[in-house]
Structure 1
């Protein structure tokens, strides 16, 4: 039997004008981790169809426009969305049709920020799912490593990175790589994420480049042999996101 995708969040997204139900996942991550406070420059990687860009628009751009309209001297936030696919335009969102593994794309992002770097980078990208968990997890991990790699070019010290992951037996390597660049790494599964899905999200705070590390698009971040195992294995806190009294699937 084909699974009915028209669950409560699907219908709610249609009613509230979101391009996809995934918007609620980012909103619930914010409820738990407060990722938007103080953000004036944000990047949405693998942005199409644009639901996370819409969240950035409604959380950052529209409130700032309202304050400016009322006489405040707020700087207008800059939101950049990146995807290989063309995306329908969104007010207040700059769109780059480009490859996140390209130095040209990272340079273009910095140019839109007038030489500064982002406070927040988010990525809800995912490959076409095959249904074979090991393969899906591996491909997703490579995508997230590409997103992390460009993040090391465009995120400022102290910034935040949020991305979708597929949890599996090799996820500890990803956590160890993230912990090299962020002081705080959390794993969370928003209530709006289907319980049947292996997806979760990493929330990484307080970005800092390791001493003598030079960001590059060519070399991998950490070799496979650097994986932590046994008693040295990194354990990342797992937190549920979203109000437990709210909608559930």
Structure 2
């Protein structure tokens, strides 16, 4: 099927914008794997999410830019890792020293078993999720796929996050967004929406920072 001229123009515009993006240029200069790294760096600077000694899980970690930040923040003076870093994705990811990478769907038993082995009965201090679906261009379908990933990440937190833990997830303002925020508020004591400078102005994405699990009702 031939590609429409409109789609070709759209692709060319995206490529041109990407090449000229200051965050893309900066990420290459500074050795990060993606421009999204600056979103987490700003969130961490303002929200104080990461420090040595924590157990951190990065959901949807590939290509690994957020994991790179976590590795830097949990580094000890000798260059090792103080704490535990677990990166998870269905896609492959280039290794990062000191990081446990689990490839596969975190709902799969084999992946869950590997995670349990690493955690050894401990809870997670910080869960990060920059997960996004493969976009189809159909707004309603993309919103639904994104919302499903958000819901799965929340379920992961309910199972693995420590009572005083923090959950950071990307969400898109639109259909289902307000309902998801309400779902977070039922589970967490504090929920705040943040828009880092590296998020494009044209993007509907925000990052929801949720803290402290509410006690489960008996």
TM-score tier (shorter): 0.7 to 0.9
For residues 15-34 of structure 1, the aligned pairs below 5 Å read 15-34=29-48
> Which residue does the alignment assign to 1:43?
57
Higher alpha-carbon deviation: 12-21 or 162-171: 162-171
> Which residue does the alignment assign to 1:241?
none
Higher alpha-carbon deviation: 110-119 or 136-145: 110-119
CA distance in 2, matches of 1:157, 1:36: 16
Structure (1 or 2) with the greater helix fraction: 2
Tell me the secondary structure at the aligned position of residue 190 of structure 1.
Answer: coil
For residues 58-77 of structure 1, the aligned pairs below 5 Å read 58-60=72-74, 62=75, 64=76, 66=77, 69=78, 76-77=82-83
One of 84, 87, 95 as aligned partner of 1:89: 95
Is the Cα–Cα contact under 8 Å of residues 52 and 82 in structure 2 kept in the other structure?
no
One of 189, 196, 206 as aligned partner of 1:200: 206
One of 167, 177, 180 as aligned partner of 2:173: 167
Tell me the secondary structure at the aligned position of residue 145 of structure 1.
Answer: helix
CA distance in 1, matches of 2:217, 2:69: 34
Is the Cα–Cα contact under 8 Å of residues 100 and 146 in structure 1 kept in the other structure?
no
Shift of 1:75: 8.1
> Which residue does the alignment assign to 1:225?
none
Shift of 1:103: 4.5
> Which residue does the alignment assign to 1:126?
132
Shift of 1:113: 2.0
Is the Cα–Cα contact under 8 Å of residues 157 and 206 in structure 1 kept in the other structure?
yes
1:148 aligns with 2:154: yes
Is the Cα–Cα contact under 8 Å of residues 143 and 175 in structure 2 kept in the other structure?
no
Is the Cα–Cα contact under 8 Å of residues 133 and 145 in structure 2 kept in the other structure?
yes
Tell me the secondary structure at the aligned position of residue 24 of structure 1.
Answer: helix
Higher alpha-carbon deviation: 29-38 or 88-97: 29-38
CA distance in 2, matches of 1:85, 1:107: 18
CA distance in 2, matches of 1:179, 1:104: 31
Question: TM-score if structure 2 supplies the norm length?
Answer: 0.87
> Which residue does the alignment assign to 1:247?
none
Gaps of 5+ in 2: 1-8
Higher alpha-carbon deviation: 139-148 or 201-210: 201-210
CA distance in 2, matches of 1:39, 1:172: 34
CA distance in 1, matches of 2:187, 2:169: 14
> Which residue does the alignment assign to 1:53?
67
CA distance in 2, matches of 1:209, 1:135: 34
1:5 aligns with 2:11: no
For the structure 1 residues 189 and 27, does the alpha-carbon distance in structure 2 shift closer, same or farther, using more than 3 Å as the test?
same
